[in-house]
Amino acid sequence: MATRVPSMELHCPAPLLSGGRGNLFSPAACLLSTILGRTCLKKKLFLVQAKRLGGLEKASTRSKESEQPKKRAALIRGTVSPPLPVPGSIPRPPYVGTKDVPEIAKEIQMHDKESIVHMRAACELAARVLEYAGTLVKPSVTTDEIDKAVHKMIIDAGAYPSPLGYGGFPKSVCTSVNECMCHGIPDSRELQDGDIINIDVTVYLNGYHGDTSKTFLCGEVDEANKRLVKVTEECLLRGISTCKHGTSFKKIGRRISEHAERHGFGVVECFVGHGVGRVFHSEPIIYHQRNNKPGQMVEGQTFTIEPILSMGSTVCDMWDDGWTAVTTDGSLAAQFEHTILITRTGAEILTKC
């Protein structure tokens, strides 16, 4: 979950309005990953040559065709139920009670031994909640039911569900199905056999946020869609593998992009990772595509890496709820996220079960 990037970061000439579904740069459009005001309008050029195929080539072509995802109906919204209550005894993050999306904090989230203990506790809880949420992913289950189960597990642990009330977000978790890139609002829509769904969990425990997400398979999923999910998780892990004290942040985006492109997927540029800890969203901003942004990792800091890969368009269309970001062409998208701690020799994944 994230706040709006400062105006000097925006490179789009005007707010993007597409299909009557709202403004890409509305404050609410910055949830869980920071929305940059930049869309990916580059198109790949393909050279097509006609030739007669041999037997082996025909077999290879049939194999590739069998991996193509089956066409499915476009995602439609269901009914959104009211926000769930949180006991008064549970501490709230400072943004709760206002519909304004907080600015990204300039401070780098650095930790000493004591605060690392708190970060590990928050991230460990987030990881357990996410794994539990994944067990609920089955055909006919609604995302609203997942939200209720996640909400209960978080408050039973004495924590606050960080998305709830962030810039007015109405639910305790984000559930992004099929072509939804991120920030999907749980509702009454039932999951269908063959769906993929990203569940994004953040908890606020003892004054610290732990942030993580994972894309789950619902029922029998096409091989092509399975491959998208698998490669997206690999991209996350490859990005993490570059991290250690003194490493340039830009290496994360390069490693992710190389792996995604090798498998024919696009990296969504308009959502990024962020610093996390006592503050939900802070510097550094983590770009998942190739970039030349300055900055180096420092031992003791924590941030998220959360790439989104798409099978087609990497440009998003914003629904008029101000949150739900979907691919413009209906292509499926997948996302994985971890909160990591930079060490002298590498990175510790804090949200790993």
The annotation places the binding site for substrate at: 183, 281
Q: At what angle do helices 223-241 and 250-262 cross, to 10 degrees?
A: 150
Known binding positions = 183, 200, 211, 274, 281, 306, 337
Q: Phi, psi at residue 302, to the nearest 5°? A: -125, 140
For residue 197, which of 253, 125, 142 has the smallest C-alpha distance? 142
The token pair that represents 341 in the structure block: 């701690």
Instruction: Compute the distance between CA of residue 178 and CA of residue 119 in angstroms, rounded to an integer.
Output: 31
Known binding positions for a divalent metal cation = 200, 211, 274, 306, 337
Place of tokens 């900055």: 295
DSSP 3-state helix, strand, coil percentages of the chain (rounded to 5)?
A: 25, 20, 55
| Whether 67 contacts 223, CB under 8 Å | yes
* CA separation, residue 1 to residues 141, 169, 224, 259 (Å): 24, 10, 28, 25
